[in-house]
Structure 1
Protein backbone atom coordinates (compact mmCIF):
# COMPACT_ATOMS: atom_id res chain seq x y z
CA UNK A 1 0.00 0.00 0.00
CA UNK A 2 1.24 3.44 -0.93
CA UNK A 3 0.47 6.29 1.48
CA UNK A 4 0.22 9.73 -0.12
CA UNK A 5 -0.28 12.99 1.73
CA UNK A 6 -2.26 15.65 -0.14
CA UNK A 7 -2.33 19.25 1.01
CA UNK A 8 -2.47 22.84 -0.15
CA UNK A 9 -3.56 26.28 0.95
CA UNK A 10 -7.17 27.31 1.15
CA UNK A 11 -8.56 28.02 -2.33
CA UNK A 12 -5.73 26.23 -4.14
CA UNK A 13 -8.02 23.55 -5.55
CA UNK A 14 -7.00 20.55 -3.49
CA UNK A 15 -10.51 19.12 -3.71
CA UNK A 16 -10.27 18.99 -7.51
CA UNK A 17 -7.10 16.93 -7.25
CA UNK A 18 -8.61 14.65 -4.61
CA UNK A 19 -11.69 14.01 -6.78
CA UNK A 20 -9.58 13.08 -9.78
CA UNK A 21 -7.40 10.74 -7.71
CA UNK A 22 -10.55 9.04 -6.42
CA UNK A 23 -11.81 8.66 -9.98
CA UNK A 24 -8.53 7.00 -10.95
CA UNK A 25 -8.84 4.48 -8.13
CA UNK A 26 -7.26 5.98 -5.03
CA UNK A 27 -8.80 5.58 -1.60
CA UNK A 28 -9.18 9.20 -0.49
CA UNK A 29 -9.36 9.87 3.24
CA UNK A 30 -10.69 13.41 3.67
CA UNK A 31 -9.57 14.88 7.00
CA UNK A 32 -11.96 17.83 6.73
CA UNK A 33 -14.91 15.48 6.29
CA UNK A 34 -13.77 13.33 9.19
CA UNK A 35 -13.29 16.45 11.33
CA UNK A 36 -16.95 17.29 10.73
CA UNK A 37 -18.08 13.74 11.45
CA UNK A 38 -16.34 13.48 14.81
CA UNK A 39 -18.17 16.55 16.15
CA UNK A 40 -21.65 15.77 14.85
CA UNK A 41 -24.57 15.91 17.30
CA UNK A 42 -24.45 13.02 19.75
CA UNK A 43 -20.70 12.44 19.48
CA UNK A 44 -18.22 12.52 22.34
CA UNK A 45 -16.23 15.03 20.32
CA UNK A 46 -19.05 17.60 20.33
CA UNK A 47 -19.76 17.04 24.04
CA UNK A 48 -16.10 17.67 24.87
CA UNK A 49 -16.03 20.85 22.78
CA UNK A 50 -19.09 22.18 24.58
CA UNK A 51 -17.53 21.35 27.93
CA UNK A 52 -14.39 23.22 26.93
CA UNK A 53 -15.88 26.27 25.21
CA UNK A 54 -19.44 26.63 26.50
CA UNK A 55 -22.99 26.11 25.26
CA UNK A 56 -22.78 29.16 23.02
CA UNK A 57 -20.79 27.14 20.44
CA UNK A 58 -23.96 25.16 19.72
CA UNK A 59 -26.49 26.13 17.06
CA UNK A 60 -30.24 26.01 17.77
CA UNK A 61 -30.51 22.53 16.26
CA UNK A 62 -27.80 21.18 18.56
CA UNK A 63 -25.08 21.06 15.92
CA UNK A 64 -21.74 22.82 16.19
CA UNK A 65 -21.92 26.54 15.48
CA UNK A 66 -18.64 26.78 13.59
CA UNK A 67 -18.49 30.58 13.28
CA UNK A 68 -19.05 30.91 17.03
CA UNK A 69 -16.30 28.40 17.76
CA UNK A 70 -13.98 30.03 15.23
CA UNK A 71 -14.45 33.38 16.97
CA UNK A 72 -13.15 31.84 20.20
CA UNK A 73 -10.28 29.98 18.58
CA UNK A 74 -8.93 32.19 15.80
CA UNK A 75 -5.98 34.21 17.08
CA UNK A 76 -6.01 32.50 20.50
CA UNK A 77 -3.23 29.92 20.61
CA UNK A 78 -4.34 28.41 23.90
CA UNK A 79 -7.90 27.83 22.68
CA UNK A 80 -6.66 26.55 19.32
CA UNK A 81 -4.41 24.01 21.04
CA UNK A 82 -7.29 22.94 23.25
CA UNK A 83 -9.58 22.42 20.27
CA UNK A 84 -6.89 20.51 18.39
CA UNK A 85 -6.37 18.21 21.37
CA UNK A 86 -10.05 17.28 21.15
CA UNK A 87 -10.43 16.94 17.40
CA UNK A 88 -7.07 15.74 16.07
CA UNK A 89 -6.84 12.41 17.95
CA UNK A 90 -10.33 11.50 16.79
CA UNK A 91 -9.54 12.44 13.21
CA UNK A 92 -6.32 10.45 13.36
CA UNK A 93 -8.00 7.34 14.73
CA UNK A 94 -10.75 7.48 12.11
CA UNK A 95 -8.22 8.01 9.32
CA UNK A 96 -6.28 4.95 10.51
CA UNK A 97 -9.50 2.95 10.53
CA UNK A 98 -10.38 3.98 6.96
CA UNK A 99 -6.84 3.36 5.73
CA UNK A 100 -6.94 -0.13 7.20
CA UNK A 101 -9.92 -0.93 5.00
CA UNK A 102 -8.06 -0.08 1.78
CA UNK A 103 -6.79 -2.98 -0.37
CA UNK A 104 -3.23 -4.18 0.14
CA UNK A 105 -2.35 -3.04 -3.38
CA UNK A 106 -4.12 0.27 -2.99
CA UNK A 107 -3.03 3.89 -3.05
CA UNK A 108 -4.34 5.78 -0.04
CA UNK A 109 -4.46 9.56 -0.37
CA UNK A 110 -4.92 11.42 2.89
CA UNK A 111 -6.33 14.87 2.19
CA UNK A 112 -5.00 16.96 5.09
CA UNK A 113 -5.23 20.76 4.92
CA UNK A 114 -2.74 21.31 7.78
CA UNK A 115 -0.33 18.52 6.86
CA UNK A 116 2.65 20.89 6.67
CA UNK A 117 1.67 22.95 9.69
CA UNK A 118 1.41 19.80 11.83
CA UNK A 119 4.71 18.30 10.63
CA UNK A 120 3.09 15.19 9.18
CA UNK A 121 5.01 14.93 5.89
CA UNK A 122 7.52 12.23 7.00
CA UNK A 123 4.65 9.80 7.65
CA UNK A 124 3.91 9.44 3.92
CA UNK A 125 5.70 7.81 1.02
CA UNK A 126 4.99 10.94 -1.01
CA UNK A 127 3.57 14.39 -0.35
CA UNK A 128 1.61 16.23 -3.05
CA UNK A 129 1.07 19.96 -2.64
CA UNK A 130 -1.54 21.81 -4.69
CA UNK A 131 -0.83 25.50 -5.14
CA UNK A 132 -2.16 28.55 -6.96
CA UNK A 133 -1.37 32.25 -7.00
CA UNK A 134 -2.59 33.99 -3.84
CA UNK A 135 -4.69 36.55 -5.71
CA UNK A 136 -6.36 33.79 -7.69
CA UNK A 137 -7.14 31.93 -4.47
CA UNK A 138 -8.66 35.08 -2.97
CA UNK A 139 -10.78 35.56 -6.10
CA UNK A 140 -11.99 31.94 -6.02
CA UNK A 141 -13.00 32.08 -2.38
CA UNK A 142 -14.74 35.44 -2.49
CA UNK A 143 -16.70 34.60 -5.63
CA UNK A 144 -17.46 30.87 -5.44
CA UNK A 145 -17.83 30.61 -1.66
CA UNK A 146 -18.90 34.15 -0.90
CA UNK A 147 -16.25 34.58 1.77
CA UNK A 148 -15.18 37.98 3.04
CA UNK A 149 -11.89 39.08 1.43
CA UNK A 150 -10.37 40.19 4.72
CA UNK A 151 -11.20 36.83 6.27
CA UNK A 152 -9.73 34.98 3.28
CA UNK A 153 -6.45 36.87 3.46
CA UNK A 154 -6.23 36.29 7.21
CA UNK A 155 -6.74 32.56 6.73
CA UNK A 156 -4.09 32.41 4.01
CA UNK A 157 -1.64 34.31 6.20
CA UNK A 158 -2.27 31.92 9.10
CA UNK A 159 -1.44 28.86 7.02
CA UNK A 160 1.98 27.55 5.98
CA UNK A 161 4.02 29.73 3.65
CA UNK A 162 4.91 28.72 0.12
CA UNK A 163 8.49 28.02 1.21
CA UNK A 164 7.29 25.74 4.03
CA UNK A 165 5.10 23.82 1.60
CA UNK A 166 7.91 23.50 -0.94
CA UNK A 167 10.09 22.04 1.79
CA UNK A 168 7.53 19.27 2.27
CA UNK A 169 6.46 18.75 -1.35
CA UNK A 170 7.68 15.79 -3.37
CA UNK A 171 5.17 16.83 -6.04
CA UNK A 172 4.14 20.43 -6.68
CA UNK A 173 0.92 20.83 -8.69
CA UNK A 174 0.23 24.35 -9.94
CA UNK A 175 -3.52 24.79 -10.18
CA UNK A 176 -3.51 28.32 -11.58
CA UNK A 177 -4.82 27.25 -14.99
CA UNK A 178 -7.90 25.52 -16.36
CA UNK A 179 -9.39 22.49 -14.64
CA UNK A 180 -8.46 20.22 -17.54
CA UNK A 181 -4.82 21.18 -17.02
CA UNK A 182 -4.74 20.09 -13.38
CA UNK A 183 -6.65 16.90 -14.20
CA UNK A 184 -4.08 16.06 -16.89
CA UNK A 185 -1.27 16.68 -14.41
CA UNK A 186 -2.92 14.35 -11.90
CA UNK A 187 -3.36 11.66 -14.56
CA UNK A 188 0.32 11.84 -15.41
CA UNK A 189 1.27 11.65 -11.74
CA UNK A 190 -0.99 8.64 -11.22
CA UNK A 191 0.20 6.57 -14.17
CA UNK A 192 3.88 7.50 -14.25
CA UNK A 193 4.69 7.74 -10.56
CA UNK A 194 2.05 6.58 -8.09
CA UNK A 195 1.11 3.26 -9.70
CA UNK A 196 4.70 2.08 -10.25
CA UNK A 197 5.73 3.39 -6.83
CA UNK A 198 2.98 1.35 -5.16
CA UNK A 199 3.96 -1.77 -7.07
CA UNK A 200 7.62 -1.42 -6.11
CA UNK A 201 6.77 -0.93 -2.43
CA UNK A 202 4.45 -3.94 -2.42
CA UNK A 203 6.89 -6.19 -4.28
CA UNK A 204 10.06 -4.93 -2.60
CA UNK A 205 11.51 -3.91 -5.97
CA UNK A 206 12.82 -0.68 -7.44
CA UNK A 207 12.86 1.15 -10.77
CA UNK A 208 15.42 0.39 -13.43
CA UNK A 209 18.44 2.60 -13.11
CA UNK A 210 19.84 4.47 -16.08
CA UNK A 211 23.45 5.00 -17.06
CA UNK A 212 25.95 7.42 -15.52
CA UNK A 213 24.48 10.64 -16.88
CA UNK A 214 26.09 13.69 -15.26
CA UNK A 215 23.93 16.78 -14.79
CA UNK A 216 24.65 20.23 -13.42
CA UNK A 217 24.22 20.75 -9.70
CA UNK A 218 20.57 21.10 -8.70
CA UNK A 219 19.91 23.37 -5.68
CA UNK A 220 16.83 21.23 -4.96
CA UNK A 221 18.98 18.21 -4.06
CA UNK A 222 19.51 19.22 -0.40
CA UNK A 223 15.79 19.82 0.08
CA UNK A 224 14.97 16.45 -1.47
CA UNK A 225 17.53 14.81 0.79
CA UNK A 226 16.02 16.41 3.89
CA UNK A 227 12.61 14.96 3.05
CA UNK A 228 14.01 11.47 2.58
CA UNK A 229 16.06 11.73 5.76
CA UNK A 230 12.97 12.70 7.78
CA UNK A 231 11.08 9.66 6.45
CA UNK A 232 13.95 7.30 7.16
CA UNK A 233 14.42 8.60 10.70
CA UNK A 234 10.74 8.13 11.42
CA UNK A 235 10.74 4.61 9.96
CA UNK A 236 13.96 3.44 11.64
CA UNK A 237 13.33 5.01 15.04
CA UNK A 238 16.07 4.57 17.64
CA UNK A 239 18.03 2.17 15.46
CA UNK A 240 19.09 5.05 13.22
CA UNK A 241 21.76 6.89 15.18
CA UNK A 242 21.81 9.48 12.42
CA UNK A 243 21.07 9.83 8.70
CA UNK A 244 23.27 12.05 6.52
CA UNK A 245 23.22 13.35 2.98
CA UNK A 246 26.46 12.09 1.41
CA UNK A 247 27.86 11.61 -2.09
CA UNK A 248 28.21 14.14 -4.87
CA UNK A 249 24.74 15.65 -4.52
CA UNK A 250 25.76 16.76 -1.01
CA UNK A 251 28.44 19.04 -2.48
CA UNK A 252 27.05 22.44 -3.60
CA UNK A 253 28.09 23.32 -7.14
CA UNK A 254 29.29 19.84 -8.07
CA UNK A 255 27.82 18.21 -11.17
CA UNK A 256 26.65 14.66 -10.47
CA UNK A 257 24.33 11.84 -11.36
CA UNK A 258 20.80 12.80 -10.33
CA UNK A 259 20.92 10.38 -7.41
CA UNK A 260 20.56 11.31 -3.74
CA UNK A 261 23.00 9.29 -1.61
CA UNK A 262 22.17 8.91 2.06
CA UNK A 263 24.01 7.16 4.86
CA UNK A 264 22.30 5.73 7.91
CA UNK A 265 24.49 5.06 10.91
CA UNK A 266 23.50 2.11 13.11
CA UNK A 267 25.11 0.57 16.16
CA UNK A 268 25.76 -2.66 14.27
CA UNK A 269 24.79 -4.32 11.02
CA UNK A 270 22.51 -6.59 13.03
CA UNK A 271 20.37 -3.48 13.51
CA UNK A 272 20.56 -2.83 9.78
CA UNK A 273 19.30 -6.35 9.06
CA UNK A 274 16.50 -5.92 11.59
CA UNK A 275 15.39 -2.79 9.72
CA UNK A 276 15.25 -4.42 6.27
CA UNK A 277 11.51 -5.12 6.23
CA UNK A 278 10.61 -1.79 7.82
CA UNK A 279 12.67 0.21 5.35
CA UNK A 280 11.21 -1.75 2.44
CA UNK A 281 7.73 -0.83 3.62
CA UNK A 282 8.84 2.80 3.91
CA UNK A 283 9.82 2.79 0.24
CA UNK A 284 13.47 1.72 0.45
CA UNK A 285 13.82 -1.96 -0.55
CA UNK A 286 17.10 -3.84 -0.21
CA UNK A 287 19.41 -3.83 -3.21
CA UNK A 288 21.25 -7.09 -2.50
CA UNK A 289 23.83 -6.88 -5.28
CA UNK A 290 25.26 -3.75 -3.66
CA UNK A 291 25.04 -5.06 -0.10
CA UNK A 292 28.37 -6.24 1.25
CA UNK A 293 28.87 -8.66 4.10
CA UNK A 294 31.82 -10.66 2.88
CA UNK A 295 34.31 -8.12 1.50
CA UNK A 296 36.16 -8.48 -1.76
CA UNK A 297 39.50 -10.20 -1.52
CA UNK A 298 41.13 -7.16 -3.10
CA UNK A 299 39.95 -4.77 -0.38
CA UNK A 300 42.99 -3.61 1.61
CA UNK A 301 40.80 -3.19 4.69
CA UNK A 302 38.27 -6.06 4.98
CA UNK A 303 35.90 -3.94 7.08
CA UNK A 304 36.12 -0.78 4.98
CA UNK A 305 33.05 -1.17 2.76
CA UNK A 306 30.97 -3.57 4.84
CA UNK A 307 27.41 -2.23 4.66
CA UNK A 308 23.79 -2.81 3.76
CA UNK A 309 22.30 -1.14 0.71
CA UNK A 310 18.73 0.01 0.06
CA UNK A 311 17.36 2.12 -2.79
CA UNK A 312 14.28 4.25 -3.31
CA UNK A 313 11.23 2.58 -4.83
CA UNK A 314 10.02 5.96 -6.10
CA UNK A 315 10.41 6.23 -9.89
CA UNK A 316 10.39 10.01 -9.53
CA UNK A 317 13.39 10.24 -7.20
CA UNK A 318 16.26 7.79 -7.36
CA UNK A 319 18.09 7.56 -4.04
CA UNK A 320 20.61 5.20 -2.48
CA UNK A 321 20.67 4.38 1.23
CA UNK A 322 23.99 3.07 2.55
CA UNK A 323 23.71 1.62 6.07
CA UNK A 324 26.99 1.35 7.98
CA UNK A 325 27.95 0.72 11.56
CA UNK A 326 29.21 3.48 13.81
CA UNK A 327 32.99 3.46 13.95
CA UNK A 328 33.45 1.75 10.59
CA UNK A 329 36.05 3.21 8.21
CA UNK A 330 33.57 3.21 5.34
CA UNK A 331 31.13 5.34 7.30
CA UNK A 332 33.84 7.86 8.13
CA UNK A 333 35.02 7.98 4.52
CA UNK A 334 31.49 8.62 3.21
CA UNK A 335 31.31 11.70 5.45
CA UNK A 336 34.86 12.87 4.89
CA UNK A 337 34.85 12.96 1.11
CA UNK A 338 31.97 15.41 0.56
CA UNK A 339 33.23 17.55 3.46
CA UNK A 340 36.62 17.84 1.76
CA UNK A 341 35.10 18.63 -1.63
CA UNK A 342 32.86 21.29 -0.12
CA UNK A 343 35.95 22.98 1.32
CA UNK A 344 38.39 22.56 -1.61
CA UNK A 345 37.38 24.34 -4.82
CA UNK A 346 40.27 22.89 -6.82
CA UNK A 347 39.55 19.31 -5.78
CA UNK A 348 35.85 19.78 -6.52
CA UNK A 349 36.55 21.05 -10.05
CA UNK A 350 39.03 18.25 -10.63
CA UNK A 351 36.57 15.58 -9.53
CA UNK A 352 33.82 17.04 -11.70
CA UNK A 353 36.09 16.87 -14.75
CA UNK A 354 36.85 13.22 -13.96
CA UNK A 355 33.15 12.42 -13.58
CA UNK A 356 32.16 14.06 -16.86
CA UNK A 357 35.00 12.49 -18.82
CA UNK A 358 34.43 9.02 -17.38
CA UNK A 359 30.66 9.16 -17.91
CA UNK A 360 31.23 10.03 -21.57
CA UNK A 361 33.18 6.78 -22.05
CA UNK A 362 31.13 4.23 -20.12
CA UNK A 363 27.43 3.43 -20.45
CA UNK A 364 26.91 1.44 -17.24
CA UNK A 365 27.38 2.58 -13.67
CA UNK A 366 29.61 -0.28 -12.34
CA UNK A 367 32.16 0.29 -15.12
CA UNK A 368 31.91 4.05 -14.63
CA UNK A 369 32.55 3.62 -10.88
CA UNK A 370 35.54 1.32 -11.45
CA UNK A 371 37.02 3.76 -13.96
CA UNK A 372 37.08 6.50 -11.31
CA UNK A 373 39.07 4.40 -8.83
CA UNK A 374 42.54 5.64 -9.93
CA UNK A 375 41.48 9.20 -9.14
CA UNK A 376 40.08 8.16 -5.76
CA UNK A 377 43.28 6.30 -4.94
CA UNK A 378 45.34 9.48 -5.15
CA UNK A 379 42.58 11.67 -3.68
CA UNK A 380 42.29 9.67 -0.45
CA UNK A 381 45.58 10.96 0.92
CA UNK A 382 44.64 14.54 0.04
CA UNK A 383 41.30 14.25 1.81
CA UNK A 384 42.97 12.77 4.88
CA UNK A 385 45.60 15.52 4.88
CA UNK A 386 42.84 18.13 4.76
CA UNK A 387 41.01 16.42 7.65
CA UNK A 388 44.15 16.41 9.78
CA UNK A 389 44.99 20.01 8.90
CA UNK A 390 41.47 21.27 9.66
CA UNK A 391 40.87 19.00 12.64
CA UNK A 392 37.85 17.48 10.91
CA UNK A 393 36.01 14.66 12.65
CA UNK A 394 32.77 12.98 11.51
CA UNK A 395 30.39 13.50 14.46
CA UNK A 396 29.68 12.14 17.95
CA UNK A 397 28.32 8.89 16.50
CA UNK A 398 31.66 8.09 14.86
Structure 2
Protein backbone atom coordinates (compact mmCIF):
# COMPACT_ATOMS: atom_id res chain seq x y z
CA UNK A 1 0.00 0.00 0.00
CA UNK A 2 1.35 3.43 -0.98
CA UNK A 3 0.81 6.19 1.55
CA UNK A 4 0.77 9.62 -0.01
CA UNK A 5 2.90 12.34 1.48
CA UNK A 6 1.07 15.29 3.04
CA UNK A 7 1.64 18.85 1.85
CA UNK A 8 3.38 19.61 5.17
CA UNK A 9 5.75 16.64 4.78
CA UNK A 10 6.52 17.51 1.17
CA UNK A 11 7.31 21.13 2.00
CA UNK A 12 9.30 20.27 5.12
CA UNK A 13 11.48 17.97 3.03
CA UNK A 14 12.14 20.69 0.42
CA UNK A 15 12.61 23.81 2.54
CA UNK A 16 16.08 24.49 3.88
CA UNK A 17 14.61 26.60 6.68
CA UNK A 18 11.17 26.78 8.27
CA UNK A 19 8.27 26.42 5.84
CA UNK A 20 6.45 29.77 5.57
CA UNK A 21 2.68 29.61 5.99
CA UNK A 22 0.38 31.89 4.05
CA UNK A 23 -2.99 31.26 5.79
CA UNK A 24 -4.54 33.83 3.49
CA UNK A 25 -5.44 34.60 -0.09
CA UNK A 26 -2.76 35.16 -2.72
CA UNK A 27 -2.04 38.76 -3.73
CA UNK A 28 -2.11 39.43 -7.46
CA UNK A 29 -1.34 42.84 -8.90
CA UNK A 30 -1.71 44.29 -12.38
CA UNK A 31 1.28 43.96 -14.69
CA UNK A 32 4.05 46.38 -13.77
CA UNK A 33 6.25 47.63 -16.64
CA UNK A 34 9.11 47.90 -14.10
CA UNK A 35 9.38 44.10 -13.84
CA UNK A 36 11.64 43.62 -16.90
CA UNK A 37 14.04 46.19 -15.45
CA UNK A 38 14.08 44.35 -12.12
CA UNK A 39 14.94 41.17 -14.02
CA UNK A 40 17.78 42.96 -15.85
CA UNK A 41 19.19 44.15 -12.53
CA UNK A 42 19.06 40.61 -11.12
CA UNK A 43 20.54 39.21 -14.33
CA UNK A 44 23.54 41.55 -14.00
CA UNK A 45 23.97 40.67 -10.32
CA UNK A 46 23.78 36.91 -11.01
CA UNK A 47 26.13 37.06 -14.00
CA UNK A 48 28.52 39.19 -11.95
CA UNK A 49 28.50 36.63 -9.15
CA UNK A 50 28.71 33.50 -11.31
CA UNK A 51 30.37 34.47 -14.58
CA UNK A 52 30.36 31.52 -17.00
CA UNK A 53 28.69 29.25 -14.41
CA UNK A 54 25.45 31.05 -15.38
CA UNK A 55 24.85 29.06 -18.58
CA UNK A 56 21.16 30.00 -18.97
CA UNK A 57 19.41 32.98 -17.40
CA UNK A 58 15.81 33.87 -18.30
CA UNK A 59 12.96 35.97 -16.92
CA UNK A 60 10.04 33.55 -16.55
CA UNK A 61 6.75 33.41 -14.69
CA UNK A 62 3.90 35.86 -14.86
CA UNK A 63 6.03 38.97 -14.34
CA UNK A 64 7.72 38.15 -17.67
CA UNK A 65 4.45 38.37 -19.62
CA UNK A 66 3.35 41.92 -20.49
CA UNK A 67 -0.26 42.55 -19.52
CA UNK A 68 -0.58 39.56 -17.18
CA UNK A 69 -1.53 40.08 -13.54
CA UNK A 70 0.95 38.42 -11.19
CA UNK A 71 2.16 37.94 -7.68
CA UNK A 72 4.72 40.78 -7.46
CA UNK A 73 7.64 38.34 -7.41
CA UNK A 74 10.12 38.26 -10.29
CA UNK A 75 10.81 34.65 -11.32
CA UNK A 76 14.23 33.98 -12.78
CA UNK A 77 15.44 30.61 -14.05
CA UNK A 78 19.16 29.93 -13.92
CA UNK A 79 20.83 27.00 -15.62
CA UNK A 80 24.22 25.97 -14.23
CA UNK A 81 26.45 23.12 -15.44
CA UNK A 82 25.34 20.83 -12.56
CA UNK A 83 22.81 21.96 -9.97
CA UNK A 84 23.94 19.21 -7.58
CA UNK A 85 27.40 20.84 -7.47
CA UNK A 86 26.28 23.50 -5.01
CA UNK A 87 29.87 24.52 -4.22
CA UNK A 88 30.09 25.97 -7.74
CA UNK A 89 27.22 28.45 -7.34
CA UNK A 90 25.72 28.61 -3.83
CA UNK A 91 28.60 30.51 -2.12
CA UNK A 92 28.84 33.18 -4.85
CA UNK A 93 25.06 33.65 -4.89
CA UNK A 94 24.97 33.89 -1.10
CA UNK A 95 27.82 36.43 -1.21
CA UNK A 96 25.64 38.45 -3.62
CA UNK A 97 22.81 38.36 -1.07
CA UNK A 98 20.66 35.47 -2.30
CA UNK A 99 19.31 33.03 0.30
CA UNK A 100 18.86 29.33 -0.44
CA UNK A 101 15.30 28.42 0.59
CA UNK A 102 14.40 25.19 -1.22
CA UNK A 103 16.30 22.09 -2.28
CA UNK A 104 14.17 19.59 -4.21
CA UNK A 105 15.35 16.23 -5.48
CA UNK A 106 12.97 16.35 -8.43
CA UNK A 107 14.97 17.87 -11.29
CA UNK A 108 17.60 18.80 -8.64
CA UNK A 109 15.82 22.15 -8.33
CA UNK A 110 17.10 24.83 -5.96
CA UNK A 111 15.28 28.06 -5.11
CA UNK A 112 16.84 31.23 -3.75
CA UNK A 113 15.16 34.43 -2.60
CA UNK A 114 16.63 37.70 -3.81
CA UNK A 115 18.60 40.14 -1.69
CA UNK A 116 16.57 43.34 -2.13
CA UNK A 117 13.86 42.60 -4.68
CA UNK A 118 11.20 39.94 -4.24
CA UNK A 119 12.79 37.37 -6.53
CA UNK A 120 12.41 33.63 -6.87
CA UNK A 121 15.64 32.38 -8.42
CA UNK A 122 15.06 28.84 -9.69
CA UNK A 123 18.26 26.88 -10.33
CA UNK A 124 18.48 23.74 -12.47
CA UNK A 125 21.20 22.00 -14.42
CA UNK A 126 21.41 23.78 -17.78
CA UNK A 127 20.23 20.72 -19.69
CA UNK A 128 17.16 20.18 -17.47
CA UNK A 129 13.96 20.05 -19.54
CA UNK A 130 12.17 22.19 -16.92
CA UNK A 131 14.02 25.27 -18.17
CA UNK A 132 12.78 24.86 -21.74
CA UNK A 133 9.29 24.09 -20.42
CA UNK A 134 9.22 27.35 -18.41
CA UNK A 135 10.46 29.39 -21.39
CA UNK A 136 7.96 27.77 -23.80
CA UNK A 137 5.12 28.50 -21.36
CA UNK A 138 6.22 32.15 -21.05
CA UNK A 139 6.51 32.50 -24.81
CA UNK A 140 3.07 30.94 -25.35
CA UNK A 141 1.46 33.38 -22.90
CA UNK A 142 3.22 36.29 -24.60
CA UNK A 143 2.06 35.20 -28.06
CA UNK A 144 -1.48 33.87 -27.53
CA UNK A 145 -3.95 36.27 -25.88
CA UNK A 146 -6.56 33.53 -25.33
CA UNK A 147 -4.14 31.42 -23.28
CA UNK A 148 -2.92 34.46 -21.36
CA UNK A 149 -6.57 35.35 -20.53
CA UNK A 150 -7.37 31.76 -19.52
CA UNK A 151 -4.33 31.65 -17.26
CA UNK A 152 -5.15 35.01 -15.68
CA UNK A 153 -8.79 34.03 -15.05
CA UNK A 154 -7.64 30.81 -13.40
CA UNK A 155 -5.09 32.64 -11.27
CA UNK A 156 -7.63 35.23 -10.13
CA UNK A 157 -10.19 32.57 -9.19
CA UNK A 158 -7.61 30.56 -7.24
CA UNK A 159 -5.95 33.61 -5.64
CA UNK A 160 -9.27 34.57 -4.04
CA UNK A 161 -9.27 31.35 -2.00
CA UNK A 162 -7.55 31.00 1.35
CA UNK A 163 -4.46 28.78 1.23
CA UNK A 164 -2.31 27.46 4.05
CA UNK A 165 0.76 27.43 1.77
CA UNK A 166 1.51 29.28 -1.47
CA UNK A 167 2.48 25.89 -2.94
CA UNK A 168 -1.17 24.79 -2.70
CA UNK A 169 -2.14 27.72 -4.94
CA UNK A 170 0.66 26.80 -7.37
CA UNK A 171 -0.43 23.16 -7.41
CA UNK A 172 -4.05 24.14 -8.06
CA UNK A 173 -2.97 25.84 -11.33
CA UNK A 174 -1.30 22.67 -12.62
CA UNK A 175 -4.06 21.43 -14.94
CA UNK A 176 -4.31 24.81 -16.73
CA UNK A 177 -0.52 25.19 -16.91
CA UNK A 178 -0.25 21.67 -18.35
CA UNK A 179 -2.97 22.32 -20.93
CA UNK A 180 -1.38 25.60 -22.08
CA UNK A 181 2.07 24.02 -22.05
CA UNK A 182 0.84 21.20 -24.28
CA UNK A 183 -0.15 23.78 -26.88
CA UNK A 184 3.23 25.53 -26.68
TM-score scaled by length of structure 2: 0.82
* Contact preservation (8 Å) 2:151, 2:177: no
Q: What's the offset of the Cα at 1:236?
A: 0.8
**After superposition, what is the alpha-carbon deviation per residue over 1:82-137, rounded to whole angstroms, capped at 9, x for unaligned?**
xxxxxxxxxxxxxxxxxxxxxxxxxxxxxxxxxxxxxxxxxxxxxxxxxxxxxxxx
**After superposition, what is the alpha-carbon deviation per residue over 1:156-194, rounded to whole angstroms, capped at 9, x for unaligned?**
xxxxxxxxxxxxxxxxxxxxxxxxxxxxxxxxxxxxxxx
Q: What's the offset of the Cα at 1:327?
A: 1.9
Whose RCO is larger (CA < 8 A, sep 6+)? 2
**After superposition, what is the alpha-carbon deviation per residue over 1:39-71, rounded to whole angstroms, capped at 9, x for unaligned?**
xxxxxxxxxxxxxxxxxxxxxxxxxxxxxxxxx
Distance of 1:248 and 1:237 partners within structure 2: 27
Distance of 1:248 and 1:209 partners within structure 2: 22
**After superposition, what is the alpha-carbon deviation per residue over 1:259-295, rounded to whole angstroms, capped at 9, x for unaligned?**
000011111124444211211121111113xx212x3
Q: Does 1:353 align with 2:153?
A: yes
Q: What's the offset of the Cα at 1:242?
A: 2.9
Q: Which structure is higher in helix share?
A: 1
Q: Does 1:260 align with 2:47?
A: no
* Contact preservation (8 Å) 1:266, 1:272: no
* Contact preservation (8 Å) 1:311, 1:319: yes
Question: What secondary structure, in the 3-state scheme, does the structure 2 residue paired with 1:321 have?
Answer: strand
Partner of residue 365 from structure 1, selected from 157, 166, 174? 166
In structure 1, stretches of 5+ residues that fail to align are 1-203, 296-304, 384-398
Question: What secondary structure, in the 3-state scheme, does the structure 2 residue paired with 1:287 have?
Answer: strand
CA RMSD, Structure 1 to Structure 2 (Å) = 2.2
Distance of 2:142 and 2:156 partners within structure 1: 18
Distance of 1:378 and 1:308 partners within structure 2: 25
Change (3 A) 1:219 1:209: farther
Q: What's the offset of the Cα at 1:308?
A: 1.6
Matched residue, 1:376: 177
Highest Rg: 1 or 2? 1
Runs of 4+ in 1 over 3 A off after TM superposition: 208-211, 270-273
Question: What secondary structure, in the 3-state scheme, does the structure 2 residue paired with 1:286 have?
Answer: strand
Matched residue, 1:38: none
Q: What's the offset of the Cα at 1:367?
A: 1.2
Change (3 A) 1:329 1:247: same
Q: Does 1:292 align with 2:93?
A: no
Q: Does 1:321 align with 2:121?
A: yes
Equivalent residues, number: 165
Q: Does 1:338 align with 2:143?
A: no
Question: What secondary structure, in the 3-state scheme, does the structure 1 residue paired with 2:92 have?
Answer: helix
Q: Does 1:223 align with 2:37?
A: yes
In structure 2, stretches of 5+ residues that fail to align are 1-15
Q: Does 1:306 align with 2:108?
A: yes
Question: What secondary structure, in the 3-state scheme, does the structure 2 residue paired with 1:308 have?
Answer: strand
Matched residue, 1:103: none
